[in-house]
Structure 1
Amino acid sequence: MDMLHQDLPDIPLDNELLYHFLSSTFSILSLILQYIQIYKTIWWLPQSHTPYALNFYLMDLYLMVYVIIILIKPFIMTIKSKESYGEMFCTNRFTLSKYINAGLNLLFIGLFVIQILSFYYVFQTYDVLRLLFLIYPIFIYLILYHNQIHFNPKFWTSFNLYQICGTFKNENLHIEKSIKHNCMDISVYPAHIYKEINHLNQFIHLNIKNILYNTIIIAYYACFLPCVMAPPIINYNLRDIILLSMIITVTTLAHSIYHTFSYKNVDEIYKICIHFDYIMADTSQNINNHSHLNDKVICDTTNIQESEFLQSPYFLFFKEPTNFIKSLLMLQSTLIACQMYSLYINTEWNLVLSIGFLLFCNYYLLFKILRDYFTLEKVYGIKSKSS
């Protein structure tokens, strides 16, 4: 079965630690850019009441600290995970594990205390209606993951609001970061392709929920919440706020999709799809030729044909190795074109600064998508010519 597959070159990918660091940094800077849109001043005019570019005295620093801690929570939890020790330190992980774990626990407790204090001051400042905006992501979480939440006492004892708003890594909601195709076993037993397809279906569904949740959380806390919590005397440009929020949301979505469905995962999914075609064609040919097939093989083949994955658009979408990268490339190119057009038609300093920064971030992501696209196109182009 090796002739069905093609080996890919080793392209460096962002690990979980680097990805959450970049994601947290981007979300914090997006929050700052949104604050610039809301609290900007006309400081250059002679009759301006302030010499500063922003109305700092109107900002609620406690709310900002509270939101920032929520946004960096996935990064802190990734550092705290034991798998990150070997990525951060080249020395013996078991030698420093005790001290590192103690330091990270102190950091985690310190951030938790700071967030509780920030929430206390926020609770004293705002009315009940505005405070409800702080807990709305809980309902988004329950809508997306209600099927995975079970009434397990061990789960509910470790379940808290702080965990919901930052990350959802626990044994009940475990989301795998990669998928692996086992070629040798599947070529012998059709039951393995049935298990692999079911696993692939769960992998795609759970990671789509993961992408949606991460995008909604960053868009909600970095874009929407500063607007609804702003003082009533603030008069900001709603068009600029909506434009910047849409750019931040799509950028976050594209980054999450690229990291979750990396070129390696796309290649593994493609191998499963093409191997499924081979198994189905071979089994159907044997049935038509009245070859000897036992009941178990026929039953496994029937289960494969009735699999949910075959009824979903994922099968046709990943059947070609470059379809997914092409779609992501079109999304990223369209986003950059819209940003370039927004820079052309806008002259406000705050919007030009914000879009320019986001454009730089999207150029970096576009480079990585193009690199993966040309690699897959080159590898599978050579394969198609040789076949």
Structure 2
Amino acid sequence: MPGGRRLLPRSQAASNLVHRSPKSESNTSNGNTPTDDMASQQQVILKHVHIPDIPSDSNLLFELILFVYCVVAMCMQYINLYKTVWWLPHSHATYAVNFYLIDPHLVLFLVLLFSRRLIWCWVKEVYGGKSSKSCCYWFVQLLKLLVTGCALSLFGWAAYHVVLTHTLLHSLFLCYPLVIYFILFGPNVKPLFDRSLVWPASVSDKSSPKHRSRDRDNSEIVLRHTCSSSPEAIREEVESFKQDFNNRVKQVLFNSMLCAYYVGFVPISFAQNTLYYDAWWVGQHVVLVWISAFIMFMVHFLSPKYTDMLHKCALHLGRWQKVEGRHAHVPYNPWSELQVWHQGALVKHVKGLFRAEGFNNTAEPGNSMHTRFYFLFYHPLRVGGWLLLLTTLLIGYQFFTLTQCTEWSHTLTLAVILFANYYILFKLLRDQFILRQCYRDEKTLLQQPKE
């Protein structure tokens, strides 16, 4: 019997793909497709996984660690620039570093610049939300004003002497990060002093009708996830969390770039023209500091509670996958923004034919923002896994470079910076281990009926 393919009429092929019962045929005669009843009958009642309270650094402790890291990294860069060969018999140097070539006003300016977040965090968070008329309260307020005033006075004095000592071109190097700031935030000074933007807002497990609310003291914004059956409310929550996530990423990019710029690049730009140094090594130091600071900020801003909240929201959102035109003969429904669609549902939108993915689907077909949000947070360990992979590669590269080092300054620089990366690696490994145990049976739990 010769081989071949039997061609069926279009109507017969469609009947073979979808088996219709008498009930569905009656619905079709009324203008409805079989998926009308399935959309309401096959919705999954989501039951989220509980995440334990994982210890994390407070904002004040994080700023202290970041300040120490920046100061130590800056000292390592100065060692790379002004190191000597004091051990040679004919060397005129008596110290390991040529301290007389270092500008003390520039060093003071950079140290005060690194401490700006630490001082502001202390001002905002230490007794910041308490309102009292006691003498202790007014003493703390006076102390905060005194510390802030002294820091600003020293900062202005150091900046004034830096401008007098160096040329105008070198002085402009201190202002170039303002260009990056305007690109990310625009002409808006709120990200510099607003507490909810400078530091990540707290996350609560308790459900609330509002996505962003304030605590009892009305001093701090708290983010909450709401398990709603309204598609409009879910999309509104996704939009709110998307804006908050973008603000956090902007803060991470700007502050990590700022650390790398003032820690590594500014000492190079203010170095003497006759100074000889290893350009490859000092440039590599800038990149390593930037990557380390980036991971530190990401781990602090994207805590496990925060990523879990975004994951819960992504489960309610779902995603639409565009279907090619050759499947257009399969029965479908017109997409409705007021309906929660089940997994595998086919809908017709102005942008084409789409198939639903996820336990429930409330996203808008063809909306790239909804697709990206679902891709990032549907798998709760995805963002943390990327950070863990980046940290592992960074430490592996530093270990490999450390084995190839022959100069004492290079060995000291890598050994000191590795301590900060070890702490980051420990936090990421701990979070991944705990979260992996929590999400292990998530799919089974989601399909269980709610008690």
Output the TM-score relative to the length of structure 1.
0.83
State whether residues 85 and 93 of structure 1, in contact with CA within 8 Å, keep that contact through their aligned partners in structure 2: no
Q: Deviations over 1:351-377 (max 9, x none)?
A: 101100111111111000000000110
Q: By how many angstroms is 1:3 displaced?
A: 5.2
Q: By how many angstroms is 1:250 displaced?
A: 0.6
Q: In structure 2, how many angstroms separate the alpha carbons of the residues matched to 1:373 and 1:131? A: 45
Percent of aligned positions with the same letter in both sequences? 27
The match for 2:401 is 342
State whether residues 231 and 362 of structure 2, in contact with CA within 8 Å, keep that contact through their aligned partners in structure 1: no
Structure 1 residue 352 corresponds to structure 2 residue 393: no
The match for 1:267 is 308
Q: How does 1:46-125 map to 2 (within 5 A)?
A: 46-81=89-124, 83-85=125-127, 96-125=136-165
Q: By how many angstroms is 1:347 displaced?
A: 1.6
Q: How does 1:264-343 map to 2 (within 5 A)?
A: 264-277=305-318, 283-284=340-341, 304-305=364-365, 309-311=369-371, 313-343=372-402
Q: How does 1:124-273 map to 2 (within 5 A)?
A: 124-146=164-186, 149=187, 168-170=192-194, 176-178=200-202, 182=207, 186-273=227-314
- Larger helix percent: 1
Q: Deviations over 1:222-270 (max 9, x none)?
A: 0000000011221111111022212111100000111111111111100
The 3 A distance-change label for structure 1 pair 267 and 2 is farther
Q: Which of the numbers 413, 429, 446 marks the counterpart of 1:370?
A: 429
Moved more, 58-67 or 99-108: 99-108
The match for 2:66 is 23
Q: In structure 2, how many angstroms separate the alpha carbons of the residues matched to 1:169 and 1:106? A: 18
- Larger strand percent: 2
State whether residues 76 and 108 of structure 1, in contact with CA within 8 Å, keep that contact through their aligned partners in structure 2: yes
Moved more, 277-286 or 346-355: 277-286
Structure 1 residue 382 corresponds to structure 2 residue 441: yes
May I ask how many residue pairs the two structures share in their alignment? 354
Moved more, 128-137 or 181-190: 181-190
The match for 1:298 is none
The 3 A distance-change label for structure 1 pair 78 and 64 is same
State whether residues 317 and 323 of structure 1, in contact with CA within 8 Å, keep that contact through their aligned partners in structure 2: yes
Q: In structure 2, how many angstroms separate the alpha carbons of the residues matched to 1:94 and 1:13? A: 32
The 3 A distance-change label for structure 1 pair 22 and 212 is same
Q: By how many angstroms is 1:331 displaced?
A: 0.3
> Which of these two proteins has the greater Rg computed from alpha carbons?
2
Gapped regions of structure 1 (runs ≥ 5): 160-166, 290-300
Q: Deviations over 1:29-62 (max 9, x none)?
A: 1111111111111111111111100000000000
Moved more, 117-126 or 92-101: 92-101
Output the TM-score relative to the length of structure 2.
0.72
Q: In structure 2, how many angstroms separate the alpha carbons of the residues matched to 1:309 and 1:95? A: 52
The match for 2:13 is none
